[in-house]
Copies of this chain bind each other. A is one copy, B any other.
Amino acid sequence: MTKFTMFGKLTAHPGKREELVSLLLEASRNLDDIEGCELYIINESVDDPDVIWITELWRDAGAHADSLKNEDVLAVIQRAKPLIAGVEPVRLRPVGGKGLGV
């Protein structure tokens, strides 16, 4: 199993979560062109009105690293930066369970 999962906790500046979610949703429509991206789900925290968690599943860690060199991805990151107060990445190795094969 060489798949790679990343949870990204993004904390928006107060009142900016909705705008950040819209930007990420727009960006996620291009993910079919990004090789090796199997899941990219945008979630709003139920308990914290400024927090977004992104669930990413990649074919392997290299595919994730390559995506960060993609011009479209870099452009989205630049647009998102002014809306973001903090980022906490969580690097994970998926080991099994239901839905991993998708």
Interface of A toward B, CB cutoff 8 Å: 5, 7, 21, 24-25, 28, 31-32, 37-47, 53-55, 57, 90-100, 102
Give the interface centre of A5, A7, A99 by most chain B CB atoms within 10 Å.
A99
Task: List residues of chain B with CB within 8 A of the CB of A100.
Answer: 41
Q: Is the interface of A mostly helix, strand, loop or mixed?
A: strand
Q: Are A92 and B39 in contact (CB under 8 A)?
A: no
CB-based contact B7/A97 at 8 Å = no
Query: Assuming A7-B7, A53-B90, A55-B55, is B99 touching A25 (CB within 8 A)?
Result: no
Q: A31-B98, A39-B98, A102-B102 are in contact. Are A93 and B46 (CB under 8 A)?
A: yes
Interchain CB contact under 8 A, B98 and A43: no
Q: Which are the 10 A-B pairs with shortest beta-carbon distances?
A: A43-B92, A39-B99, A46-B91, A40-B98, A41-B97, A28-B97, A42-B97, A31-B98, A44-B93, A25-B96
